[in-house]
Amino acid sequence: MDSIRILGGNQLRGQIKISGSKNSSLPIMISSLLTDQELVLDNIPNLTDIETLVLILKDLGADINYSIPKRKSSLSTTSDRIMHIKFKNIISNQANYEHLSKMRAGFLVIGPLLARTGYAKVSMPGGCAIGTRPVDMHLMGLKKLGADIKIEKGYVIAEAKNGLVGNKIHLSKPSVGATQNLIMAASLAKGESIILNASIEPETMDLIACIRKMGVDIDVHGDNVQIQGTINIKGASYEIMSDRIEAGTYAIAGCMTGGRIELTNFDPHLLESPFEILRNIGCSIKLFNRRIVIEKVVKDFEPAKITTEPYPGFPTDLQAQFMALLTQASGKSIINERIFENRFMHVQELVRMGAKINLDGDKATIIGKTELIGAPVMATDLRASVSLVLAALSAKGETIINRVYHLDRGFEDLEKKILNCGGIIERIQENKYEVI
């Protein structure tokens, strides 16, 4: 298994082009199930989660073509993948455990597959490193739209012989995945559906914008989403939004190393809550049109209090990265994790690097400032892994981060983007060094 070696202490200075959003790309690729016409998607990032979803969709019958631009030099960064997806025919109604155990977002095929064919058999996603992550709200919503649901041998079997029918669905929490699944299912249902207490995360709004282009009438009022189902869903061309979590992560990398980072290809409004915290602790953030310049402007950061919440609150996907940053603030910082019940697996690894962090249920208390010292570390999920990259970049000495496959799931060209800004980072392949 590959690992990453980082020699800390260099300031990160330079420009980083933000890639397309992973968490927008996945549901939008899945929305191609709603039509037999072609969906052309621009700004798809080059990530292993995208590759896993391509395999899932191909098993269901998708014809998928996508181009990877040639890397001009060893330090250039790639992006702008254009993907063509067409589901002329559905050849299978079953999504298997083999792929879904690697990537939970694949479960979202159940809604559109059921809506299009009247039957879907999809593996339950199984356990996860950040929490139990049930799918009860997805299933409750599909039942409201008229589906019969059974669970057999680890698979959800959903049937709607006479098609789905629009209804009012009240989510007990604004689940991102359940909202996206139900929006897709309701798009092909007969009549109007309303999802109350829906997720209004930017990635959900991106999915809605794409499905609107495909010809579905969808209105959003506050956190209610109103969908007029139609059988006339057509193909479209759509550009995926940029990745707000990647942008937030590199913003922190710049500040934490005392450097200066310019983020391009990114809409700053997507990160208002994290940017407010960065400003409060001592960073300057200058906003331009799709460009941001960020740097640390104090000697020592101020501490902060953070609570993760649904959008527009502070995103859970930046919690681990902010925890790494707050180890460098003078004083006591507090992070409350309110979205997932087990999203503190990075804490013990940060502690091994010298951080002082106390955990009490969903609350972490970070006592700073502590000097971070490089160490061999290991993470259990994508955002936890990247928090260790941030800690390593500002630590003294060498850090080896194992289980790099987590990073490859969600950060396009991570090493190259960091190297281009002056960080010292290299990938160690299982038995040899790769010269980057």
Print the SS3 string covering the chain: CCEEEEECCCCCEEEEECCECHHHHHHHHHHHHHCCCEEEEEEECCCHHHHHHHHHHHHHCCEEEECCCCCCCCCCCCCCEEEEEECCCCCCCEECHHHHCCCHHHHHHHHHHHHHHCEEEEECCCCECCECCCCHHHHHHHHHCCCEEEEECCEEEEECCCCCECCEEECCCCCHHHHHHHHHHHHCCECEEEEECCCCCHHHHHHHHHHHHCCCEEEEECCEEEEECCCCCCCEEEECCECHHHHHHHHHHHHHCCCEEEEECCCHHHHHHHHHHHHHHCEEEEEECCEEEEEECCCCECCCEEEECCCCCECHHHHHHHHHHHCCECEEEEEECCCCCCCCCCHHHHHHCCCEEEEECCEEEEEECCCCECCEEECCCHHHHHHHHHHHHHCECEEEEECCHHHHHHCCCHHHHHHHCCCEEEEEECCEECCC
Ligand-binding site membership of 317 (annotated): yes
8 A C-beta contact, residue 19 and residue 45: yes
Cβ nearer to ligand EPZ, comparing 173 with 286: 173
Residues 6+ apart with CB under 8 A from 42: 20, 80, 82, 237, 238, 239, 240
Residues 402-421 contacting ligand EPZ, CB under 6 A: 410
Closest CB 392 distance from ligand EPZ, rounded Å = 19
* Binding residue count for ligand EPZ, defined by CB under 6 A: 23
How many angstroms separate the CA atoms of 48 and 56, rounded? 13
- Out of 6, 124, 176, 283, name the contact with ligand EPZ by CB under 6 A: 176
Closest CB 103 distance from ligand EPZ, rounded Å = 8
Residues 231-270 contacting ligand EPZ, CB under 6 A: none
Ligand-binding site membership of 22 (annotated): yes
Closest CB 230 distance from ligand EPZ, rounded Å = 25
283 carries an active-site annotation: no
23 binds ligand EPZ (CB under 6 A): yes
Closest CB 394 distance from ligand EPZ, rounded Å = 22
Residues 6+ apart with CB under 8 A from 153: none
Cβ nearer to ligand EPZ, comparing 56 with 137: 137
Closest CB 154 distance from ligand EPZ, rounded Å = 17
How many angstroms separate the CA atoms of 322 and 318, rounded? 6
Cβ nearer to ligand EPZ, comparing 370 with 380: 380
Nearest to 167 by CA among 86, 227, 88, 121: 227
Ligand-binding site membership of 148 (annotated): no
Q: Which stretch binds ligand EPZ (CB under 6 A): 160-168, 171-179, 289-297, 389-397?
A: 171-179
Residue nearest to ligand EPZ according to CB distances in the complex? 177
Cβ nearer to ligand EPZ, comparing 167 with 197: 197
Ligand-binding site membership of 90 (annotated): no
- Out of 98, 136, 217, 272, name the contact with ligand EPZ by CB under 6 A: 136
Cβ nearer to ligand EPZ, comparing 137 with 375: 137
Cβ nearer to ligand EPZ, comparing 259 with 315: 315
Site string for ligand EPZ, 374-393 (x = CB under 6 A): --------xx----------
Q: Which stretch binds ligand EPZ (CB under 6 A): 58-66, 128-136, 267-275, 371-379?
A: 128-136
Residues 47-106 contacting ligand EPZ, CB under 6 A: 105
- Out of 9, 131, 331, 354, name the contact with ligand EPZ by CB under 6 A: 131
Cβ nearer to ligand EPZ, comparing 317 with 413: 317
Q: Which stretch binds ligand EPZ (CB under 6 A): 169-177, 207-215, 318-326, 413-421?
A: 169-177
Cβ nearer to ligand EPZ, comparing 214 with 407: 407
Ligand-binding site membership of 23 (annotated): yes
How many angstroms separate the CA atoms of 216 and 209, rounded? 10
Q: Which stretch binds ligand EPZ (CB under 6 A): 136-144, 213-221, 280-288, 386-394?
A: 136-144
Nearest to 163 by CA among 141, 185, 179, 183: 185
Closest CB 314 distance from ligand EPZ, rounded Å = 11
How many angstroms separate the CA atoms of 326 and 66, rounded? 40
Catalytic residue among 128, 210, 283, 421: 128
Annotated binding-site members = 22-23, 104, 317, 339
Summarize as ranges the residues that interact with ligand EPZ (CB under 6 A).
23, 26, 105, 131, 133-138, 173, 175-178, 203, 316-317, 339-340, 382-383, 410
Annotated binding-site members for UDP-N-acetyl-alpha-D-glucosamine = 104, 317, 339
Annotated binding-site members for phosphoenolpyruvate = 22-23
- Active-site residue numbers? 128
